[in-house]
Structure 1
């Protein structure tokens, strides 16, 4: 698992459990339709799995941050 992943917040955090909101903030996602490029690590994969119902995830090329 190397490279990077583009993660976009697709749904609002309103009404979500505090744990989910903390995970999203830790990923750098604070507003709907914001996109961040993250390293493809087991830690990030676990975070994505936790809130996958709120995200859009795309594979990104290594150099396009």
Structure 2
């Protein structure tokens, strides 16, 4: 099964720009059928599973945050 860009956006809960950025970067592979881009269901799932988890993002943000003045440490 394959999704159009619009259908992939709806299924994945992301916007068109994010899908096109992922395709352009090579993170998400799209197939061409004439002028139409198609994304295989398995490829969309693989891409979604490769995105960072909420916990990983929080840890990254905490590591980059400057120390709070006056905090014990």
Tell me whether the two structures share a fold, i.e. TM-score over 0.5. no
TM, length-normalised to structure 2: 0.27
Q: Which has a greater percent of strand?
A: 1
TM, length-normalised to structure 1: 0.29
Q: Which has a greater percent of helix?
A: 2
Max Rg structure: 2
